[in-house]
Amino acid sequence: MIGCVCSSIAPGTTHTERYREGLTEVNCYIDAGNSRIKAHLARRSQKTVEPVVIDWPAANESDPVGALATRLEPLLVDEKGRSPKQVVLASVVEPRRRDWLGTAIAEVCPQAECRWLEVPGKCCHVRVAYESPADLGVDRFCAMIEARACHPDRPLAVINAGTAITLDVLAADGQHLGGLILPGWRAQLQALRAAAPALAPAIESLEHAGEFAEPRDTAAPVPETTRRLGLAADTATAIELGRHWLIAAGVNQMLSVWQERLADEGPLLAVIAGGDADRLADLIDPALEHCLEADLVLAGVVRLARARR
């Protein structure tokens, strides 16, 4: 385990004194994704800890570092003013937001050392297919090693449904065979808004409805055959169905291909995680074995940090 003793412990404090004062070793782990930040403190005395979800500052935030520091402080500083000495981070964001996060942590707990994880060529029984492992997103690697730890010695398709939908395939022996990246539900809307501005009103109606379009009044009823085929009679619903079928077709086709190719190694299991995991799971062909795993990337961050200490 990565040692991280609370910063208020005075030099020379004995184990008995620490116990009496209620001080425990604590590590802070952070998964900095494009949509949000997930983090938790892991203490020796706690088997499971509910992660904290922190939103990134808005693009027009005048003081993004200060906003992040305010949101991080309840996590990083306890009621007695104690904070971790080390914060372990896995980040897939651009340098600007990474700098915001590092600076905010330094403001909240200046004694903390930030340790940014990188993707190794091999770790935790997973071997990366990329010629340059650093080119693989650390979130994808963390998801793979945690999925394999939960479901060892069988072929896996590890799917993370967030800003992007990533799918990585692992052979039963842990060899990464490669992956693909699809735009997630929100990313598709953002891309359409930028490329086809005339669709903005329909996109806004989806966003205001929580991204699920309600049936629209039309001049004539939509034929039942059209409904069964998944077609729409208004623009907003057409966009919603288009996103649905794009993701469903891409993911199910890839799962079917690799289930057939890896049949000699056993049945392929799709392990699904991420903020839109439930939504994606509803699209998976029932004939394909799949399961949901909460906080897969964050758990993988802990696993990678401990393996690479």
In angstroms, the Cα distances linking 130 to 136, 183, 211 are 7, 21, 35
The pLDDT value given to residue 206: 87
Is 173:284 a contact under the CB 8 Å cutoff?
Answer: no
Is 32:55 a contact under the CB 8 Å cutoff?
Answer: no
Q: Write the burial class of residue 126 (CB in 10 Å: 0-12 exposed, 13-18 middle, 19+ buried).
A: buried
Q: How far apart are CA 288 and CA 268, in angstroms?
A: 8
Residue 181 is part of which domain span?
A: 119-300
Ranges under pLDDT 70 in the chain: 1-25, 43-49, 210-229
The pLDDT value given to residue 309: 78
Same domain membership, residue 157 and residue 111: no
Same domain membership, residue 123 and residue 111: no
From the list 297, 50, 279, 32, the residue with the least C-alpha distance to 158 is 297
The pLDDT value given to residue 1: 31
pLDDT digits (tens, 9 = 90+) for 161-216: 999 999 999 999 999 999 999 999 999 999 999 999 999 999 998 887 764 444 44
Return the CATH number at 198. Answer: 3.30.420.40
Give this prediction's pTM. 0.84
Would residue 31 count as lying in a domain?
yes
Same domain membership, residue 235 and residue 123: yes
User: 121 — phi, psi (to 5°)?
Assistant: -70, -30
Same domain membership, residue 128 and residue 97: no
Would residue 233 count as lying in a domain?
yes
Domain end point (choices 81, 116, 151) = 116
Same domain membership, residue 235 and residue 163: yes
Would residue 10 count as lying in a domain?
no
Same domain membership, residue 149 and residue 205: yes
Same domain membership, residue 93 and residue 109: yes
The tokens describing 67, both together, are 């906003």
| Count of structural domains, the chain | 2
Same domain membership, residue 107 and residue 123: no
The pLDDT value given to residue 227: 53
Q: How far apart are CA 25 and CA 27, in angstroms?
A: 7
Would residue 285 count as lying in a domain?
yes
Same domain membership, residue 133 and residue 66: no
Would residue 2 count as lying in a domain?
no
pLDDT digits (tens, 9 = 90+) for 285-295: 999 999 999 99
The tokens describing 184, both together, are 């997630």
Catalytic residues: 139
